Amino acid sequence: MTTDLRALLHRAADLAATYREALPGDTPVHPGAKLPDLVAALGGQLPQQPTDPAEVIELLADAAGPALVGTEGPRFLGFVMGGSLDAALAADVLTSGWGQVAFNAVTSPAAAAVEQVAGGWVLDLLGLPAGATVGFTT
């Protein structure tokens, strides 16, 4: 099975953008969908053959869409958790595509450099000594 990767990623980005653009409007913050309905829509028998990736993306969007909590919207006041800004969302897509193992500078020099720079910025923002240790968790 061949996949048109570019078309697949464009479709996923389009679905994500459509969702995010609707958030400031009348979209309810908490979905009306029930967990058993979502499980039924996503579940079923384990496929015996590979499924076309485009079909997987459409199935996921159709089934999960009605069950998404609007945590990125301006009316979500539920928990203290970070939302993803548009730049962070796009960077997440890019880093997922790169598929780096961000363990250390040997497995991904790029990730190590980004972590070092971001750590320095955090220290600066918090007024901490430049030599303080910073660690990021996943």
Question: What domain count does the chain have?
Answer: 1
Q: Which of 47, 48, 49, 50 is nearest to 2 (CA)?
A: 50
Split at pLDDT 50, 70, 90, the class of 136 is confident
Residue 97 domain-assigned (yes or no):
no
Residue 110 domain-assigned (yes or no):
no
Check if the beta carbon of residue 119 is closer than 8 Å to that of residue 134.
yes
**pLDDT tens sequence across 87-131:** 888 888 898 889 898 888 899 999 999 999 999 999 999 999 999
Residue 44 domain-assigned (yes or no):
yes
Residue 98 domain-assigned (yes or no):
no
Helical H segments across 23-101, by residue range: 35-42, 53-64, 86-98
pLDDT value at position 83? 66
End-to-end CA distance of the chain: 33
Split at pLDDT 50, 70, 90, the class of 69 is confident
- Reported pTM: 0.76
Residue 105 domain-assigned (yes or no):
no
Q: What letters, b where the CB count within 10 A reaches 16 and e where it falls short, cover 71-97?
A: ebbeeeeeeeeeeeeeeebeeeeeeee
Domain hosting 24: range is 5-82
pLDDT value at position 138? 66
